[in-house]
Structure 1
Amino acid sequence: MNAPETLELRLGSIAHGGHTVARHEGRVIFVRHGIPGELVNVVLTDAGETAKFWRADVVEVLEASEHRVPHIWDQADALTHRDPVGGAEFGHISLDYQRVLKAQVAAEQLTRLGGLKAEDYNFPAVQAVPGNADGLGWRTRMSYSVTESGHLAMSGFRSNELTEITQMPLAHPGIEAIGLYSVDFSGIDRVEVAVSSRDDSTVLVLLSEVLPGAALRVAKQLPEGVNLAVFSQMGGSAADGKGELEVITGNGWLTEQVLGNFFRITGEGFWQVHRSAATLLTERVMDLTAPESGEVVADLYAGAGLFSLPLAEAVGPQGRVFSIEGAPGTHADAKKNLAQTPQVTVTRGRVERLMRQLAREAQLDAVVLDPPRTGLDKQSAAELATSGVPRICYVSCDPAAFARDTARLMARGYELDHMEIHDLYPHTHHMESIGLFVRR
């Protein structure tokens, strides 16, 4: 394709990934920024003649859906920007209808990939998060690129082009309040920002420095009280845990509080993004897992110990919890957070390897797992089944991965006893699923 081509299309059903499905002369086209049923003009963004399908963005709405609303963020609006930034791809859809579409996606994935039959399962609706009626200001973690002129920027879907941004409506007000968009970040490759859900005035800024001295110059532009740290190894980031973290001002960590427990989360560590997610997920996981005194529980992909700590409290000193995490920075956080809980064994390593060892050494009563977006691999699912654990509580941020793993677990003797979906990512296509699997 030499140049973008405009087509008039009637948009079909919603698809996983934030697209609607349309067809043109027998060709499937995945369209972003539309709503099922709309008549639109689109610009093709990926339309090779030999491609199995094409991609396109809506640029004009000819017949609008009743569920279309003014976009929450101008810079992410495809109707006003040629290359809209990502991160709010459902921002043009009413919140209630966003959840209807997400529920449709989840049901389609569970049917197609999970092998579940609609007549046998009552697929759940997507639940709103209490206290977040407008779906804004929920992101306690943000990651930005930096333009050549030193300003914060983001890119569009499948795009390498940076767009300078002046606000981010989904970012927590504590992040927006420190004036990041007026700071000169020249000499910085990446900026990552986190705010404590416990104290929204406590902000941690992490810099990936490419020019020596750039971080010190940035520090002079930030307000007092902001914690600032820099990754001394070029290319290091909070996401991958690479590079040595050097604190410039304040601390290199934040303190979070969930149901009375305190957690130290460093720049390299992982924490749930939605400001209410840690509490909501902990409550639901504990309710579904129902650990009892003296039981043995494994917490896989355990992060900083969010579930491990309340699980340990539930099983008591006569029980045991095995907390397993692979990421080095997050594992270090878990060791600190669980140091005063002797019934917890904190281990760093790959889950599929350690599960095999764990199954030989302990008779597990329950497993809690919250894997990355890709979900379990075949080996991990096999090791779980081999362990014979009677109940598994599975937290997933991707409906396709959850559906694939549902099929894998059901093929190995488990059934999906309960499932619920929470809208922890408003104005995006993402959702959080929790399933309880019990052994047949």
Structure 2
Amino acid sequence: MSTQAEQGAGDLIDVEIGAPAHGGHFVARYQGRVVFVRHALPGERVRARLTDAGEGARFWRADAVEVLDASEHRVPHFWPAADALARHAAGELPVGGAEFGHAELGYQRELKASVVREQLERLAGLKVSDVGFSGVEAAPGERPNGLGWRTRTAYSVDAAGALAMNAYHSDRLVPIEDMPLAVPAINELGLAALPLHGLARIEVAAPSAGGAPLVLLVEDPTARPGAAARVAKALPEGSNVAAITQQGGSAADGAGTLRRLRGRTWVAERAAGREYRVTGEGFWQIHRCAPDALNEAVQQILAPQPGQAFADLYAGAGLFTVPLAHAVGPEGVVLSIEGAPGTSKDARRNVHGLDQALIRQGRVEKVLRQEVSRLPGGLVGVVLDPPRTGVGRDGVAAVAAARPARIAYVSCDPASFARDIRDFALKGYVLESVRALDLYPHTHHVECIGALVPAPKG
């Protein structure tokens, strides 16, 4: 066996797997060095291929390619394209996006709960028993197998014109036949059977309550024109189809030229008993059950009443803004701030007729500082639903300066959530309670919903 100093990416090592770590990895040790291993489970002994290693590195990364002693919680992977062991055995890489698919669904939630606890204790300095955390809950209405929940998917097209997705942290494209995590309406489009030459990507949005998906065909600027029109004709009747011609980025960036090919360029969504319109470039929660589940959690934390003032920050298409506006009524006000121009336009449409909703587009903390003094009576509560990077110190400072009585923080990343909770504590706010919902089954991701209140005086 080669010495540690000689080993590098591609080498095989045998390791015992320990606790889960944030990001879908598990902690192992090899000759005194920490190795973060994917596609394993605690208690297993595996053979792993190093993917990131070197004598000067603080830690190494590796993928399990063979299980020598299996966990009792290991199950056959539901998706052949993402089955790491089978793909590595065939000399191929697995597709990303289903890295926990080899574990029992209930055990996946135990792993995620362990990560949430560790992040809150290590980064925020909390005892989770003090904030009522009792584990990761299944989303209301979740299917027993945890499949068919994604209402938004993004695919690539490989050089052969086949539907594909990226391997984890790689430019390598893996051809796929279907996407088992997607809602049936997306798989029923039959994208893998279509000739996709001339396209760079395909992005699909399906309404969570059912209905025809919106298919965005992103054309390859280096290919001959006409691919999007050709593929649109091959899609099932009733599909909504648009084409995007651009030089880079994604449809969500709002860059490039969008042209309608069939139907409409938006999908109708419904949450908390309200109707929404979300365009192809707009943001909406991915899990089909998430909009209702998160709205219920936010309403419980904020308990809005007529005449009160709230702020919905990182507001997206207005998922929380609309119910809050109805709750506070014409005498109240909801300041809704979103950074992305296209998504902010969606929010403006969705609050049509609700004059108490003030839609603002721009950098959240800057706009909040400008607008908060104009709110009558001051802020009663704030909703935070930031991107994966979190609110950040400047955002925390801006929210704390507004002195809301309650903050509902919705986070899709436990690490940035814990860091922001720590920063809120420095500004006089404490985490009163926290829940975690499994809105991303078969992946390492988890959604946290925290309630923050001003720290007791004295």
TM range (shorter): over 0.9
Alignment partners' CA distance in 2, 1:218 and 1:48: 46
> Residue 8 and residue 378 in structure 1: after superposition, are their counterparts in 2 closer, same or farther (change >3 A)?
same
Amino acid at match of 2:276: F
Alignment partners' CA distance in 1, 2:156 and 2:267: 22
Q: Give TM-score, length-normalised by structure 2.
A: 0.94
Amino acid at match of 1:409: F
* Residue 191 of structure 2 corresponds to residue 185 of structure 1: no
**1:213 corresponds to which of 226, 237, 257:** 226
Q: CA deviation at 1:191?
A: 0.7
Secondary structure of the corresponding residue to residue 4 of structure 1: coil
- Structure 2: segments with no counterpart, 5+ residues: 1-6
> Residue 386 and residue 2 in structure 1: after superposition, are their counterparts in 2 closer, same or farther (change >3 A)?
closer
Q: CA deviation at 1:232?
A: 2.5
> Residue 226 and residue 61 in structure 1: after superposition, are their counterparts in 2 closer, same or farther (change >3 A)?
same
Structure 1 counterpart of 2:3: none
Alignment partners' CA distance in 1, 2:394 and 2:131: 27
Alignment check: 8 A CA contact 1:237 1:243 kept: no
Amino acid at match of 2:14: E
Alignment partners' CA distance in 2, 1:358 and 1:432: 29
Q: CA deviation at 1:117?
A: 2.9
Amino acid at match of 2:388: R
CA deviations 1:61-91 (Å, max 9, x no partner) are 1111010011111111111002111010000
Q: CA deviation at 1:284?
A: 1.1
* Aligned ranges 1:382-393 → 2 under 5 Å: 382-393=397-408
Alignment partners' CA distance in 1, 2:71 and 2:263: 49
> Residue 438 and residue 252 in structure 1: after superposition, are their counterparts in 2 closer, same or farther (change >3 A)?
same
Secondary structure of the corresponding residue to residue 354 of structure 1: helix
Alignment check: 8 A CA contact 1:355 1:380 kept: no
Amino acid at match of 1:95: L
Q: CA deviation at 1:247?
A: 0.7
Alignment check: 8 A CA contact 1:14 1:20 kept: yes
- How many residue pairs align between the two structures? 439
CA deviations 1:296-326 (Å, max 9, x no partner) are 0000011101100100111111100011111
Amino acid at match of 1:144: Y
> Residue 428 and residue 217 in structure 1: after superposition, are their counterparts in 2 closer, same or farther (change >3 A)?
same
Alignment partners' CA distance in 1, 2:408 and 2:9: 49
Alignment check: 8 A CA contact 1:207 1:229 kept: yes
Alignment check: 8 A CA contact 1:208 1:236 kept: no
* Residue 138 of structure 2 corresponds to residue 128 of structure 1: yes
Alignment partners' CA distance in 1, 2:260 and 2:71: 50
Alignment partners' CA distance in 2, 1:385 and 1:360: 13
How much is the aligned-residue C-alpha RMSD, in angstroms? 1.2
Alignment check: 8 A CA contact 2:216 2:242 kept: yes
**1:11 corresponds to which of 2, 13, 17:** 17
Q: CA deviation at 1:360?
A: 2.5
Alignment partners' CA distance in 2, 1:64 and 1:233: 47
Amino acid at match of 2:452: F
Alignment check: 8 A CA contact 2:132 2:433 kept: no
Structure 2 counterpart of 1:368: 383
Alignment partners' CA distance in 1, 2:398 and 2:321: 20
CA deviations 1:10-66 (Å, max 9, x no partner) are 001100000000000111100000001101111111112211111111111111101
Amino acid at match of 2:39: H
Structure 2 counterpart of 1:278: 291
Alignment partners' CA distance in 2, 1:2 and 1:23: 15
Amino acid at match of 2:81: Q
Structure 2 counterpart of 1:414: 429
Alignment partners' CA distance in 2, 1:425 and 1:79: 22
**1:174 corresponds to which of 174, 182, 185:** 185
CA deviations 1:93-141 (Å, max 9, x no partner) are 0011000010000000001111113564443310011322210000000
- Percent same amino acid among aligned pairs? 54
CA deviations 1:149-194 (Å, max 9, x no partner) are 1111111212111110111110111000111111111111111011
Amino acid at match of 1:352: E
Alignment partners' CA distance in 2, 1:103 and 1:2: 33
Structure 1 counterpart of 2:368: 355
* Residue 255 of structure 2 corresponds to residue 255 of structure 1: no
Q: Give TM-score, length-normalised by structure 1.
A: 0.98
* Residue 108 of structure 2 corresponds to residue 98 of structure 1: yes
Q: CA deviation at 1:217?
A: 1.0
Structure 2 counterpart of 1:381: 396
* Residue 15 of structure 2 corresponds to residue 44 of structure 1: no
Secondary structure of the corresponding residue to residue 86 of structure 2: coil
- Structure 1: segments with no counterpart, 5+ residues: none
Alignment partners' CA distance in 1, 2:349 and 2:132: 42
Secondary structure of the corresponding residue to residue 209 of structure 2: coil
Amino acid at match of 2:398: E
Alignment check: 8 A CA contact 1:209 1:234 kept: no
Amino acid at match of 1:116: L
**2:169 corresponds to which of 141, 151, 158:** 158
Q: CA deviation at 1:213?
A: 1.1
CA deviations 1:183-232 (Å, max 9, x no partner) are 111111111011111224x1111011123211111112111111111113
Structure 1 counterpart of 2:418: 403
Alignment partners' CA distance in 1, 2:420 and 2:366: 18
CA deviations 1:360-391 (Å, max 9, x no partner) are 22211111110000001211111111111111
